[in-house]
Amino acid sequence: MIRKITTVLFFIIVQNSESQFKEARSFNGGIAIVSVYIKDSFKIKYGFINKKGEVVVSPRYEYIGDFDESLAKFKYEGKYGLINKKGEIITSNQYEDMGSFSEGMVAVKINNKWGYMDKRGHLAIKPQFLYAESFHNGFAKVVLNEGEIDFINKKGNFLGRNFKYKTYKEYAGIGNFEKGVCRITEDDKYGFMDKKGRNIINPIYDYASSFHQKTTDVKYNNKWGRINKKGKYTINPIFQNRIGFFSNGLASIEINDKEGYIDEKGKLVIRPNFRFAFSFNKFGVAGVQIKDSLWGFINKKGKLIGQTYDYAYPLTEGYIPVLKDKKWGYVNLKGKLAIDFKYDFVNWFSESLAIVQLNDKCGYINKKGELIIEPKYTGYPVYSQFQEGMAVVIINGKEWFINRKGQELTIK
């Protein structure tokens, strides 16, 4: 009975809206958040449905965030609360603001102070901070007073460093914990500390990135190099420009306005002959821009593979969209043409299907280039890629869901 009432309410709202869905997001854990524009009130309302087309929550909220750890924040009457995928209210709309869940905790604001709530909706750390960020590696960055930062663990215990800042640059210079270490800044210099708050790399650098890999970029005396977590140089600071992301043993580097590649010791292995250089994939192939409207693919010796193209996108699921003579096709990870140039526009593959445009209509192809869903849709919605077996398309100017057979989702 409750589901029937909810569905009736949904259709009443939709009938009073300008379009089927103002926004339809991708499915996440069996749930998709949707919104409608209400003509009478000139407002957008949010709810969500499941993959059976059942209305879990009719569009009545001012906003619903994406689900993180099976929970999402919602906004109702100007205040935030927490809801689960069953539509159950975990905590009512009582907070002035709310972050996103990370490591089982979410930052919440009440009475102009920030604290943390757990997944049960309980205040785990009482609101006492001017601002609070998400947890990373068991610690969260918090603003104690204006111009003063510290870190807390999930028990609310302070790390005790009490960093000072006056500008946003100084605030942002204090990073988050990544791989057990955290970037710090003191007197406009950058270094790193461990989870006990001890400096493991003293702040001596003009700039330092966080440790997303085993080594990270640092700038010293206006030159770029790379260090490990012991502070030892793996690449001496000799480059004028920042080093790219290492992939398959190589990283791009810009020298005299051209890009080439260096190895993990900083040795130049591919001369800087390119306007732009992508990372190498697992097959040892990288996309490069040779000059305006001229792209191609090279191997780890810097030799061009196959033909050149007018444009190229980054790869997904083993295929790279490329443009030639105003038509789009795809090459594979080895840089060889996999799907011929015949489309007006294409997008990345997701769940082995990609949306393509042909004669102003959009459909979907598989990795063999076969049309699986005939081109009959108009435009590219933000969430047009398949996720959990469903994609968002535009039908008669309205956003709606289809499955991998092109069948439209029916609201029950």
pLDDT at 52: 93
Residue 103 domain-assigned (yes or no): no
Give the pLDDT band (50/70/90) at residue 313.
confident
Residue 20 domain-assigned (yes or no): yes
User: Which three-class secondary structure string do you get for the chain?
Assistant: CHHHHHHHHHHHHHHCECCCCCEECCCECCEEEEEEEECCCCEEEEEEEECCCCEEEEEEECEECCCECCEEEEEECCEEEEEECCCCEEEEEEECEECCCECCEEEEEECCEEEEEECCCCEEEEEEECEEEEEECCEEEEEEECCEEEEECCCCCECCCCEECCCHHHHHHCCCEECCEEEEEECCEEEEECCCCCEEEEEEECEECCCCCCCEEEEECCEEEEECCCCCEEEEEEECCCCCCCECCEEEEEECCEEEEEECCCCEEEEEEECEECCCCCCCCEEEEEECCEEEEECCCCCEEEEEECEECCCECCEEEEEECCEEEEEECCCCEEEEEEECEECCCECCEEEEEECCEEEEECCCCCEEEEEEECCCCCCCCCECCEEEEEECCEEEEEECCCCECCCC
Domain containing 34 equals 1-80
Mean pLDDT score across all residues of the chain? 91
Give the pLDDT band (50/70/90) at residue 398.
confident
pLDDT at 13: 47
**Does residue 378 have a pLDDT over 80?**
yes
Mean pLDDT confidence for 46-63: 94
Residue 136 domain-assigned (yes or no): no
Residue 9 domain-assigned (yes or no): yes
Give the pLDDT band (50/70/90) at residue 336.
confident
**Does residue 389 have a pLDDT over 50?**
yes
Mean pLDDT confidence for 374-378: 93
Q: What is the pTM of this model?
A: 0.85
**Does residue 5 have a pLDDT over 50?**
no
Number of domains the chain is built from: 1
Residue 11 domain-assigned (yes or no): yes
Residue 382 domain-assigned (yes or no): no
Residue 47 domain-assigned (yes or no): yes
**Does residue 354 have a pLDDT over 60?**
yes
**Does residue 16 have a pLDDT over 70?**
no
pLDDT at 335: 84
Residue 186 domain-assigned (yes or no): no
pLDDT at 381: 82
**Does residue 8 have a pLDDT over 50?**
no
pLDDT at 41: 66
Give the pLDDT band (50/70/90) at residue 20.
low
